[in-house]
Structure 1
Amino acid sequence: MSDQDSTSASQTEGEFEEEMDGDMDGDMDGEREIDEKHRESPVPSLSSFSSSLAAVIRIKQKYRAMKLRRQEMVLGLGGSAALLGAPARTSPKIFTFDALTPSSIPTLSSSVPQKKKRRKRRRVMFPNRGGRRAPPKQEHSRAKYCLYLLLAIVFIQVYNAIENLDDHVLRYDLEGLEKTLRREVFGQQGAVEGLLSHLKDYLSTYVHNKPLVVSLHGPSGVGKSHLGRLLAGHFRSVVGDTLVMQYYVLHHCPLEAEAMHCARNLSTVITEMVERAEEEEKIPLFIFDEVEHMHNEILDELLELVAAKQSNEYLNAIYLFLSNLGHAHITKHMLHNSSSYSTAMSASGRHSNLVKELTPILRASLEKLHRLWTEADILPLGLLEKGHVMECFLDEMSREGFYPDHASIERLAGEIEYHASVGGHQYSLTGCKQVVAKVNLL
């Protein structure tokens, strides 16, 4: 039954196609005839154009009727074939002027093969602890602890070094020495500050590359020997009597014939003292007064001792030289420049100017005498004014038990000889040298 239906459907479709082909052939023949007629006619007329237009319209109408009839037959055959189970035949694709319907346009999704979607990796979620994610635990390097330990060790070493420096300075009680010098020495506050500055810088450490050599110069009676006695007494109280030496040239070596013997003995004593000081880890003090009377042999021996040596015991020592060498330069400078010193200028300011202007002159003259002063720091002491002399009388009268009457002090100070008043300053010729003798006559 199905075979007969299919054969009949195929025959019907074949007859329809033959009819369509015949119609199409007839139409095409008609069009050819019309074209030949147009070609044969040399000049086209209005009647020929209207006839061709009518032929075109007729062909179009006939084509539409054929298309509708064909679509109806295809739908009828497709429905019967679906009912009978026969495979549906597709009609040939024919170009038309009709717009394509949206359903007839193939979609992009159906024509283009879709790519396989990649499976996304699941995010690692941290457990919920109080609404916060626990951060990953970082491993700390053990080298950091070693670095912290090294920094702590370095800090402790530096701190101990600073503490040791402070202890070393405190051992010599420089604050007490400063108070004593400011109280006992009159008119030389600038020189006292310079001397204390040298001592603080040198005593702040125990390791040195050269000994401290300071040379104090000034006219007679300005307080050089008194300053030496105060330093000797203070250092005896802090380092002991065995590490302090006061050497008076006119007392220890008055004769020039014994200069070589005195130089050898002095070298032996200094060597023993520096060795003892090295064992006790202290710094000795050597004070040489009246250096202007010292023989060349002793100066040569001292130059070898103060020069830089390889052994440490000779480098850790303080040498103080007291003399009136260069007093003429100091006196001349102060008398000529006293008018330039204002009353508002402090003692340290006047002394700084004195050191700045006099040091090159004094060094040049002293180096001509001996090479020892090339190794020394030079500090000049200025002249004393009448007010300073009155302070010396007040101090000496208090020591001797006399009532410090201002009238008596002024009378005694008036008996001292002075330089001519210059710039409102009245400088003493002998300083405070005659103060003790004047007080003893009371």
Structure 2
Amino acid sequence: MKETFSTLLRYMLISGVLVHAFEPISTTIVAGVGAASLGMKLYNYLFETCDENWIGFNATGLQEDLQKKLFGQHVASQVVFKAVTGFMNNENPKKPLVLSLHGWTGTGKNFVSQLIAKNIYHKGMESGFVHLFTATAHFPHTRDLETYKTQLQQWIKGNVTNCPRSMFIFDEMDKMQPGLIDSIKPYLDFYERLDGVSYRQAIFIFLSNAGGQNIVQVALDFWTAGRQREEIQLKDLETAVSLSVFNNQESGFWHTSLIDKNLVDFFVPFLPLEFKHVVQCGMAEMAAKGLELNATVVDRMARDLNYFPKDERVFSVKGCKVISSRLDFYTD
């Protein structure tokens, strides 16, 4: 938004139309039109609306965030950037963008979903057009599965009707009740409209630990063979991950038509983090907390964490998940 609130307000006062903007009857048609226009600008500044005032893709910002803030995830960074950029630059997509992010805890899945939201919506995750669902919080009871299906369908339909460029994030898909996510399958498909509503501009992101073991095994195999981590490519991981979550009876993706009908655009693998990545997370967290950067403190904290294999200590067990709380302990 190019005009600040104070600039807009000052202009309205000087031009003598501020009163007209709020009066039910304007003294002239010209004044009424001008007041309505300026009143709408003021409204769009103060209240989030589903238009370019509040929604606009920043490709450069997303690329820089992925490169500078996400550590150890060269595959995920590349896939996410290309997928989101291609979708947002497509004026007439054939279906919604559907990304499924997989990997062990602390590898950056939630963080990446936040970066995507930040670079599309001016309010980021605080936007009224970004909707986060957590399996254990929003869908906890097996007995209420059919109720959840109906509620989820209504929620998505209502929000996309309100704003076609809506984003839906489903966390803990590995704990989601099997069958629930299939209830929204029609909204992710190649339909132009369903009951008068188009879902083609929406974004759906699924976050899951399922498939993490397969990803870890690939990383271990590369390390054992003496190959560089950066040699790992999407093709080395994607098929194994998709098959793993599809056949996992405890996964929300178990035998789901979303996979069977190829409605997930990308299964994005997040590799286990190494010691150097944990250090990078620690330094970034210190900066975010406004603390004086101290490599010695971060190094000591990182070394005290658990790694595997036990003897070689190559990969972090919890990644960057506990960095924030651990830093508080070490800095105090």
Counterpart of 1:393 in structure 2 is 282
Q: Does 1:219 align with 2:104?
A: yes
Alpha-carbon distance, 1:425 to partner: 8.0
Does the 8 Å contact 1:219/1:324 carry over to 2? yes
Query: In the alignment, is residue 356 of structure 1 matched against residue 245 of structure 2?
Result: no
Preserved contact between residue 219 and residue 383 of structure 1 (Cα < 8 Å) = yes
The one of 276, 299, 302 aligned to 2:184: 302
Contact 1:172 1:238 in 2 (8 A): no
AA aligned to 1:259 is: L
Q: Check the 8 A contact 2:57/2:120 in 1, yes or no.
A: yes
Which 4+ stretches in 1 moved above 6 angstroms? none
Q: Deviation at 1:206?
A: 2.2
- Give yes or no for the alignment of 1:250 onto 2:136: yes
Cα distance in 2 for residues equivalent to 1:364 and 1:189: 22
8 Å Cα contact 1:235/1:244 also seen in 2: no
Shift of 1:262: 2.2
Q: Which residue of 2 aligns with 1:234?
A: 119
AA of the residue aligned to 2:159? M
The counterpart of 1:322, out of the listed 195, 207, 231, is 207
Which position in structure 2 is the counterpart of 1:378?
267
SS at match of 1:237: coil
- Alignment match, 2:25: none
Q: Which amino acid aligns with 1:308?
A: F
Indicate whether 1:194 and 2:73 are aligned.
no
Within a 5 Å distance, the mapping from 1:73-152 to structure 2 comes to none
Partner of 2:149: 263
**Bigger share in helix:** 1
Deviations 1:33-84 (A, max 9, x none): xxxxxxxxxxxxxxxxxxxxxxxxxxxxxxxxxxxxxxxxxxxxxxxxxxxx
Q: Residue 60 of structure 2 aligns with which residue?
A: 175
Distance 1:197 1:425, change over 3 A: farther
Match of 1:403 among 282, 285, 292: 292
Distance 2:66 2:149 in 1: 31
How much has 1:260 moved relative to structure 2?
2.2
CA contact (8 A) 1:217 1:322 kept: yes
CA 1:189–1:384 in 2, change beyond 3 Å: closer, same or farther?
A: same
The structure 1 residue matched to 2:246, chosen from 367, 370, 377, is 367
In structure 2, list runs of 5 or more residues that go unmatched.
1-51, 248-253
CA distance in structure 2 between the partners assigned to 1:313 and 1:236 by the alignment: 20
Deviation track 1:235-254 (CA, whole Å, cap 9, x = no partner) reads 33179923221111222222
Q: Relative to 1, partners in 2 of residues 1:389 and 1:308: Cα closer, same or farther, differing over 3 Å?
A: same
* SS at structure 1 position matched to 2:99: strand
The aligned amino acid for 1:315 is R
3-state SS of paired residue (1:409):
helix
**Secondary structure in 2 matching 1:235:** coil
Distance across 1 between alignment mates of 2:291 and 2:56: 37
Tell me which amino acid in the other structure corresponds to 2:317: L
* CA distances 1:298-338 after superposition (whole Å, capped 9, x unpaired): 21212232122240612221111110111111111211221
Whole-angstrom distance in 1 between the partners of 2:123 and 2:83: 18
Matching residue of 1:436: 324
Q: Are the aligned partners of 1:306 and 1:314 in contact in 2 as well (CA < 8 Å)?
A: yes
What is the CA-CA distance between 1:342 and the residue it aligns to?
4.2
Q: Compare CA radii of gyration and give the structure with the larger one.
A: 1
Which amino acid in the other structure matches residue 103 of structure 2? G
Counterpart AA for 1:426: V
Per the TM alignment, residue 172 of structure 1 is displaced from its structure 2 partner at its CA by 0.8
**Equivalent-residue separation in structure 1 for 2:179 and 2:224 (angstroms):** 43
More moved, 327-336 vs 394-403: 394-403
**How large is the Cα RMSD of the aligned pairs?**
2.5
C-alpha distance after superposition, 1:216-243 (max 9, x if no partner): 1111111111222222333331799232
Query: For residues 235 and 245 of structure 1, do their structure 2 counterparts lie closer, same or farther at Cα, with a shift above 3 Å needed?
Result: farther
Structure 1 residues 204 and 401 mapped into 2: Cα distance closer, same or farther (>3 Å)?
Answer: closer
> Which residue of structure 1 aligns with residue 7 of structure 2?
none
Q: How high is the TM-score relative to the length of structure 1?
A: 0.55
For 1:69-104, what per-residue CA distance to the aligned partner results, in whole angstroms no more than 9, with x for missing partners? xxxxxxxxxxxxxxxxxxxxxxxxxxxxxxxxxxxx
Q: 1:360 corresponds to which letter in structure 2?
A: T
Distance 2:131 2:226 in 1: 38
Does residue 218 of structure 2 align to residue 333 of structure 1?
A: yes
Tell me by how many angstroms 1:421 deviates.
7.7
Contact 1:338 1:425 in 2 (8 A): no
**CA distance in structure 2 between the aligned counterparts of 1:365 and 1:406, rounded to whole angstroms:** 39
Contact 2:75 2:269 in 1 (8 A): no
Superposition deviation, residue 297 in structure 1: 4.0
- In structure 1, runs of 5+ residues without a counterpart are 1-166
* 1:170-219 Cα deviation digits (max 9, x unpaired): 93111112212222211113211111101121122221222211111111
CA distance in 2, matches of 1:232, 1:201: 16
Match of 1:290 among 160, 164, 172: 172
Q: Does the 8 Å contact 2:59/2:119 carry over to 1?
A: no
